Chains A and B, each alone.
Chain A
Amino acid sequence: MIKLNNIQKAYHIGKSEFKVLKGINAHIKEGEFVSIMGSSGSGKSTLLNVLGILDNYDSGEYYLNGTLVKNLSQTQAAHLRNKFLGFVFQSFNLLSFKNAMENVALPLYYQKVSRKERNKLALEYLDKVGLKDWAHHLPSELSGGQKQRVAIARALIGKPKVIFADEPTGALDSTTSLEVMDLFKGINAQGITLVVVTHENDISKMTDRIIRLKDGLIVTEEQETTIINQVILNK
């Protein structure tokens, strides 16, 4: 589903260049539930944004579902995001002036689904995340966990192949975090590929595979084993 060949990306601050991704190689198969871990500033979000075509990269190749994602026009990128991808953000990113149902329905607006149809579907998806009764509430009237569930319903409604989540539980307490992860597991069980960025071990433990980032590179398998051993030893 996702193939990365030597992806590099640098930020330019004034005249100086700051390399964040220094050559990422990775392969995420269809239906996988992967977490990306690493310390703060290691480039997790940068990588996820590249994967989600929310940002571009400098060199390397990124294949999404077999197509090379490089130098796409904004319109092409928009179509790919709309058809293939769903997003869940740490800060929810709901539109404050739209109620839960309208927020969930928004991706379908850009798929030219009729208003009646997309509101009906939005209610179904809200039901799936247990928020049917909150359909007509504004985001400001919802708790953090509820907001994130609305965001998940919104990510799901476009029937994406991959969902990217950047610290989806970062703003939630541990109980709600677990609820969200349960939702993700259910989604993954339906065959949707999931990539979750997190720095919490509890969260990454619930995923099938962990990709560790360090200094802009993916830590190799052996290194990973030693890290895991260290974790076990520390316990």
Chain B
Amino acid sequence: MFNRDNWQEIFETISKNKLRTFLTAFSVAWGIFILVVLSGAGNGLRNGAQSQFGNDAANSIWVDGGNTSMAYNGLKPNREIKLTNEDFSVLKDQIKEIDNASAIYQGHNSKTLSYKKEHAGFLVRPVMPDHQNLECAVILQGRFLNMNDINNYAKVCVMGKPVKEALFKEEDAVGKYIDVAGANYMVIGVFNDPGNNDNNRIYIPLTTAQRAWNGKNYVETMWLSTGSAGIERSEEITKEIRQLMARRHNFNPADIDALGVYNNNVQYARTMGMLDGIKIFVTIIGIFTLIAGIVGVSNIMMIIVKERTKEIGIRKALGATPLSIVSQIILESVFITGAAGYTGLVLGVALIEGMRKIGVNSDFFKDPEIDFGLAIFSTILLVVSGALAGLIPSIRAARIEPVVALRED
């Protein structure tokens, strides 16, 4: 039934009725375009927010030493609480949920690093082996720190990709020695951290730094991840940590200045909540865009069929069957809406890809992605609603006596 001749008749009618073709096509193309751009931008916001999080282990807890602000057990306030390697071991032992734990000593100092004639200032952060997992850093060459390095006070370092490039250029870094503020460290690995700005640093063993910089067994910060413990359990864990440290260091557990405990779970949950909010917002706008598209297409189809009543009458007088009338109108509609939906999709993709190419990236907007499934589903939805909207009046028009259709103007 739908041979080349049918299509030719359909193309002819479409191309000779440019205004109504344009109106139908525009409302569909516009809807799909908006939808594609919107969902792409929504994903961009999501990716931006996610990268804000630095790609660190999201379910982690920071523990910092502090100064007491309350008198306790006969001890005066304003006493410094210094965390130690033993505190670290105790926490790891006592809290079952901890799956990764690192301790940091003097982690915020930049030092001059040298290799041959190259010198550069970068952060030197003494850490424990689990630090790699907490940062979600990916090893590019060599390896990360291990317990042997810790136990042997090894003078080794793992450097971020930009550090390697600054000091070694094209040269292999692993196995070479660099000078870190007057001492030689062997490079054992190069890493890449997906998080913002976490690459401009080198890691050295915690124990090595404690010994080299006269740090005894002091620890500035402990960083722990709590595995699959949910947000409620993680809040309990922060309390347990506080109590444990209060007992060991003799301070009031209610003294929040004595010990800083930051639960990233809470922060993460907040960010996720925001992302969900964005998603709901984008979805609602998308749904309204689609509804507007459906209403638009349906309206236009009904008007078109009404407008064509006379034409239908003429065609029927010349021998058109109701089936040929209905199928022509529906095929025209499906063709126009389908092609228009595709056009909207292509334009939307072009815009999003263009944004990607130009690199419209900021802290809050990154790598917009297109949801093709959604775009195709929406196009089909508009095509079907256009067809349905055309179906009812065209069946009615095909059923009435030709003389009634011919009387129309």
Contacts and interface: CB of A to CB of B under 8 A. Distances in A.
B319 A82 contact: yes
Contact of A81 (B12, B310, B319, B404): B319
A79 to B, nearest CB: 7
Given A82-B318, A95-B314, A110-B320, A74 B398 contact: yes
A233 B9 CA distance: 57
B322 interface: yes
Contacts of B320: 78, 110
A157 B402 CA distance: 20
A107 interface: yes
Interface string B311-346: 101111111111110000000000000000000000
B10 to A, nearest CB: 11
Interface residues of B, number: 28
A111 interface: yes
A54 B403 contact: yes
Interface string A57-94: 00000000000000000110011011100010100011
Nearest to A83: B319
Interface centre among A78, A83, A87, A115 (most CB of B within 10 A): A78
Contact of A75 (B314, B322, B401): B322
Contacts of B17: 97
A93 B321 contact: no
B170 interface: no
B232 interface: no
A231 to B, nearest CB: 32
B16 interface: yes
B125 to A, nearest CB: 76
Interface in A3-55: 49, 52, 54-55
A56 interface: yes
Contacts of A54: 316-317, 401-403, 406
Nearest to A111: B319
A81 B317 contact: yes
Contact of A74 (B9, B16, B310, B399): B399
B384 to A, nearest CB: 26
Interface footprint category on A:
20 to 34
Interface in A153-194: 154, 158
A52 B317 contact: yes
Contact of B13 (A93, A97, A114): A97
A73 to B, nearest CB: 9
A109 B325 CA distance: 12
A114 B322 contact: no
B311 A79 contact: no
B403 A75 contact: no
A128 interface: no
A107 B317 CA distance: 9
Nearest to A158: B319
Nearest to B15: A97
B324 A110 contact: yes
A98 interface: yes
B197 interface: no
Nearest to B402: A54
Contact of A110 (B319, B398, B399, B402): B319
A71 B314 CA distance: 21
A126 interface: no
Interface centre among A56, A110, A154, A158 (most CB of B within 10 A): A110
Given A81-B318, A114-B5, 10 more contacts: A54-B403, A55-B404, A74-B316, A74-B321, A87-B317, A93-B310, A106-B315, A107-B319, A112-B5, A115-B8
